[in-house]
Amino acid sequence: MKILVTGGLGFIGSHTVVELQSEGFEVVIIDNLSNSSEEVMVGIEAISNIKPIFEKLDLREKSAVQSFFEKHHDIKGVIHFAASKAVGESVENPLLYYENNLSTLIYLLQELQKKDEASFIFSSSCTVYGQAEKMPITEDAPIQSAMSPYGNTKQIGEEIITDVAKVSNIKAILLRYFNPVGSHPSAEIGELPIGVPQNLVPFITQTGMGLREKLSVYGDDYPTPDGTAVRDYIHVVDLAKAHVIALKRLLENKNLEKVETFNLGTGTGSSVLEVINAFEKVSDKKLNYQIVGRREGDITSAYANTDKANEVLGWKAQSTLEESLASAWMWEQKIRG
């Protein structure tokens, strides 16, 4: 069974390709290498002993997308990761985000709606909830107006998929990730942020390696137990496994609605200081950090109610925060060692 993974050389994409291949799927990767490297193919093959098909292609080129689907007409399912995902950058350059994240989705869906049936897994984000009223966050928590163009592209993306699924043979599952962290236990693949990391965990591991002088903790005046913001940090391999389960659900026609939505988190919230303490424990290093002011656009707290994913998908995150941080630290040491 041939599956397309767009953005398959990226952080979550590459881990999902490995899980798909271990389940016997034939994988075709599309990636434009704007935020990844072809080197990742080596890591994927080192783990799976299978080399996926790779097509360097920019999904913003409509004609290229059409030719791709003519060539790979036997594709049965798509897992769509390819998108720009830096919140801050999206505020400075909204059109880059609206063009890249939405036109690519539209061109993919235009090809899929020509098929007798198509299964589509969409990489969404807990960012669609904004600052949810109630913790832990359930899938029916209200969608609040987006705090960034990035978050807006995820909200609009979900709406486009829902509208198209109503009038086509496309079945879809929207996966709303909380905070993906960690790396494959083999340390053959992991997170490769380009430039100064925006996200907490890669900044911590780079500080642990001495690549960054110190971590800035963005605010300790939030209404949380220790004053720092709370998030739900989920291991990327747990996340990848959920994608394969969701895809099989659609391929086997087990979905109860044309479009289903699942929160993917651990169900546990951890504050920034708790992440720092956990890192110091697993790395046996003292982390150099300084409390500074809040980051614009950050929310106080977000962690998932995972009942629906547990009960309907039969999926539950396995890794603890410490295990996730240990894998991220091992990866950082390997790539910088």
Under rule CB under 6 A, residue 127 binds ligand WQD: yes
Catalytic (active-site) positions: 150
* Residue whose CB is less far from ligand WQD, 137 or 272: 272
> Which CB, 114 or 294, lies closer to ligand WQD?
294
- H or E element: which one contains 2? strand 2-6
Q: How many CB atoms lie within 10 A of CB 32?
A: 19
Parallel/antiparallel/unpaired status of strands 270-271 and 230-231: antiparallel
- In this structure, what DSSP letter does residue 207 have? H
Separation CA 134–CA 297 (nearest Å): 19
Q: Is 81 in the site for ligand WQD (CB under 6 A)?
A: no
By beta-carbon proximity to ligand WQD, the closer residue of 21 and 35 is 35
User: Binders of ligand WQD among 138-197, rule CB under 6 A?
Assistant: 177, 179
Please choose, from the candidates 250, 249, 325, 235, the residue with its C-alpha nearest in 3D space to the C-alpha of residue 284: 325
**Binding-residue total with ligand WQD (CB under 6 A):** 19
- Of 198, 255, 320, 333, the residue at the interface with ligand WQD (CB under 6 A) is 198
Stretch that binds ligand WQD, among 132-140, 186-194, 210-218, 237-245 (CB under 6 A): 210-218
Query: Given candidates 231, 241, 243, 249, which one binds ligand WQD under the rule CB under 6 A?
Result: 231
Work out whether 295 is an interface residue with ligand WQD (CB under 6 A).
yes
Smallest gap from residue 217 Cβ to ligand WQD (A): 4
Query: Residues 253-282: x/- map of binding to ligand WQD (CB under 6 A)?
Result: -------------------x----------
Residue 120 CB, shortest distance to ligand WQD, in Å, is 18
Helices (H), 167-215: 200-208
Phi, psi of 109 (to 5 degrees): -65, -35
Is 16 an interacting residue with respect to ligand WQD (CB under 6 A)?
no
At its nearest, how many Å lie between ligand WQD and the CB of residue 4? 20
To ligand WQD, the closest distance from the beta carbon of 273 in angstroms equals 9
CA–CA distance, 52 with 113 (Å, rounded to integer): 25
Element (H, E) at 106: helix 104-112
HSE of 34, CA atoms in CB hemisphere, 13 A: 15
Stretch that binds ligand WQD, among 212-220, 255-263, 320-328, 329-337 (CB under 6 A): 212-220
Token pair in block for residue 7: 């953005």
- Residue 298 interacts with ligand WQD (CB under 6 A)? yes
How many Å separate Cα 93 from the centre of its chain?
21
Instruction: Give the three-state DSSP class for 28.
Output: strand
- Residue 203 interacts with ligand WQD (CB under 6 A): yes or no: yes
Nearest residue to 230 (alpha-carbon basis) of 128, 95, 132: 132
**Is residue 78 within 8 Å of residue 25, measured between CB atoms?**
no
Residue numbers at the binding site for ligand WQD (CB under 6 A): 85, 87, 125, 127, 177, 179, 198-200, 203, 215-218, 229, 231, 272, 295, 298
